[in-house]
């Protein structure tokens, strides 16, 4: 059969993620919870150009979450909405549901509640849930250990209207113990979807690790990968790096 999934978030990224879940032969999208009332009661599948019914849309403000979690129990809830949603889905844990959160900017309190949740069930949290970015981070850490003398800088490129410095770039800098204010270079031009380059400079050689996003659907594939991996895990808080590392054994 595959994994049954509930999705929080149906915005720019959320809808692309929904589409990936619908297309995946290993997953079934049972429902979607979104903030607004738009398209409430319709199926995400129809809105995304599919003919069959999959992923009924619920509006957060109108939903009896207790009933939803009980009668439409899902194996995994995937969260691409925003910081506060954690409050709405903690109740699903008692039905055995696991959680994958891809929220990029958590309020401290909400992150705390996500951690509490992991004492009841398996929770994976990754603000950058693509396979490629997580490989980039893991490989960068390894290279830094092998070549501690290397100078490291990060260049991240995104579309002109992206305001903040890439959270992923800051995360890489943090994980490598670098000064965030000095080593992250941000390029904002045109319609670049997302490129992250970690440059390791040695005296006689340069090593570059580059990740280029072609489409937001990469997030959906990362979330599905995480959900599948999480199905075999006991309660606890996990990271995407762990999910990827397990395959290296």
Among 23, 162, 195, 233, the active-site one is 162
Query: Cα separation of 137 and 160, whole Å?
Result: 25
Annotated catalytic, 162? Answer: yes
- Under the binding rule (CB under 8 A), the answer on residue 70 touching a copy of itself is no
Among the candidate windows 118-126, 137-145, 173-181, 231-239, which touches a copy of itself by CB under 8 A? 137-145
Nearer to a copy of itself, 90 or 128 (CB): 128
10, 43, 89, 200: residue in contact with a copy of itself (rule CB under 8 A): 200
Query: Cα separation of 157 and 175, whole Å?
Result: 19
Smallest gap, in angstroms, from Cβ of residue 229 to a copy of itself? 11
- Under the binding rule (CB under 8 A), the answer on residue 98 touching a copy of itself is no
**H-helix or E-strand spanning residue 27:** strand 27-34
Phi–psi pair at 242, nearest 5 degrees: -65, -40
The SS3 of residue 64 is coil
| Max Cα distance, the chain (Å) | 63
Annotated catalytic, 163? Answer: no
Contact 106, 43 (CB under 8 A): no
- Under the binding rule (CB under 8 A), the answer on residue 139 touching a copy of itself is yes
Query: Cα separation of 95 and 231, whole Å?
Result: 14
Query: Cα separation of 4 and 235, whole Å?
Result: 18
Nearer to a copy of itself, 1 or 214 (CB): 214
> Residue 178's closest CA among 130, 224, 131, 141?
141
**H-helix or E-strand spanning residue 184:** strand 184-188
Nearer to a copy of itself, 36 or 206 (CB): 206
Among 30, 158, 196, 211, the active-site one is 158
**H-helix or E-strand spanning residue 15:** helix 12-23
> Residue 223's closest CA among 11, 88, 1, 21?
21
- Under the binding rule (CB under 8 A), the answer on residue 181 touching a copy of itself is no
Residue for token pair 């889905």: 89
Among the candidate windows 34-42, 52-60, 91-99, 217-225, which touches a copy of itself by CB under 8 A? 217-225
Among the candidate windows 73-81, 92-100, 120-128, 196-204, which touches a copy of itself by CB under 8 A? 196-204
48, 60, 111, 131: residue in contact with a copy of itself (rule CB under 8 A): 131
Phi–psi pair at 24, nearest 5 degrees: -70, 130
- Under the binding rule (CB under 8 A), the answer on residue 26 touching a copy of itself is no
- Under the binding rule (CB under 8 A), the answer on residue 36 touching a copy of itself is no
- Under the binding rule (CB under 8 A), the answer on residue 201 touching a copy of itself is yes
Catalytic residue positions, numbered: 158, 162
Contact residues toward a copy of itself (CB under 8 A) are: 130-132, 135-136, 138-139, 142-143, 145-147, 150-153, 155, 157, 159-160, 185-193, 199-218, 221, 244, 247-248
């Amino acid at each position: 059969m595959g994994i049954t999934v509930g999705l929080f978030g149906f915005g720019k990224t959320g809808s692309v993620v929904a589409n990936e879940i619908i297309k995946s032969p290993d997953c079934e999208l049972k429902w979607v919870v979104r903030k607004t009332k738009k398209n409430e009661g319709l199926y995400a599948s129809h809105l995304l150009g599919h003919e069959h019914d999959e992923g009924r849309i619920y509006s957060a403000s109108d939903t009896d979450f207790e009933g939803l979690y009980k009668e439409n129990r899902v194996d995994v809830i995937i969260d691409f909405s925003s910081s506060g949603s954690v409050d709405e889905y903690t109740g699903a844990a008692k039905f055995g549901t696991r959680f994958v959160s891809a929220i990029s900017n958590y309020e401290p309190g909400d992150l705390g509640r996500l951690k509490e949740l992991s004492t009841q069930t398996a929770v994976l949290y990754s603000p950058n849930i693509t396979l490629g970015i997580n490989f980039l981070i893991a490989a960068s850490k390894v290279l830094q250990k092998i070549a501690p003398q290397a100078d490291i800088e990060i260049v991240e490129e995104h579309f002109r209207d992206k305001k903040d410095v890439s959270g992923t770039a800051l995360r890489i800098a943090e994980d490598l113990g670098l000064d965030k204010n000095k080593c992250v270079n941000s390029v904002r031009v045109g319609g670049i979807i997302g490129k992250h380059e970690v440059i390791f400079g040695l005296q006689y050689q340069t090593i570059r690790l580059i990740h280029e996003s072609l489409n937001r659907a990469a997030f959906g594939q990362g979330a599905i990968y995480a959900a599948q991996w999480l199905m075999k895990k006991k309660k606890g808080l996990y990271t995407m790096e762990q999910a990827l590392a397990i395959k290296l054994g």
